[in-house]
Amino acid sequence: MVLQVAISTPLNQLFDYLPPDEGHAPQPGQRVRVPFGRTEKIGIIVSLPESSAVPQSRLRKAIEILDAEPLLDTATMELLSWSAAYYQFPPGDVFAAALPAALRRGAAAAAAEHYIWVATKSGKTSDVTELKKKAPVQARLLTALIAADGLTDQDLRSLHPNWRKIVTTLADKGWAEAIISSTDDSSSSDPEQPPGTDRSTAVSC
């Protein structure tokens, strides 16, 4: 078995690794820590093919699988793969945009109750009127994000049934981001925390 991993790089490809010797059983949607050049990176397992086009002798072994269960469900994984292929965008960047920054850095997923979506500074200053002419549904969701301190999956679903695809497109443009929402009140003192997102523990997507 081989791990095909999406790693945030400018390269438009997935990277193959051998599974680690111990730890969680690999599943698509989990985060995995892997060697990459002379450094280590955190990626997302996209698929588990039986073999690789790369000779096994050249495959490096993943260091550890970070999550006991997938953080991204099958529908989300399929949507992100479709978005990367359709927009010809590096898959690692597309998959990374679906996770809050703290999870991309390797934070424990158990620390987050859920994450919410907010408009970025770029999104708040974008020309929504012009966007409405070309992509009215994107403009509608972006307007809602700008007006709110944060919207949950349920909030976005009530605005449009295909909200994941739309918000992923907004995130790819740098207009939306996900932040982890926690019940830990002490997190409100986080110097990285953006205004209006009390009780959040991560920023920037």
Please count the structural domains in the chain: 2
Examine the domain organization and report whether 91 and 110 are in the same domain. no
41-64 average pLDDT score: 93
Whole-model pTM?
A: 0.61
Domain presence at residue 69: yes
44-55 average pLDDT score: 92
108-131 average pLDDT score: 81
Say whether pLDDT at 121 is over 50: yes
Position of tokens 């003192």?
A: 189
Flag the least confident range among 39-53, 65-79, 129-143. Answer: 65-79
How does pLDDT run across 144-202, given as a tens digit for each residue? 999 987 888 888 888 888 888 888 889 888 999 887 665 443 333 333 333 333 333 33
The enclosing domain of 17 has a CATH number of 3.40.1440.60
Examine the domain organization and report whether 123 and 92 are in the same domain. no
Residue range(s) defining the domain that contains residue 156: 103-189
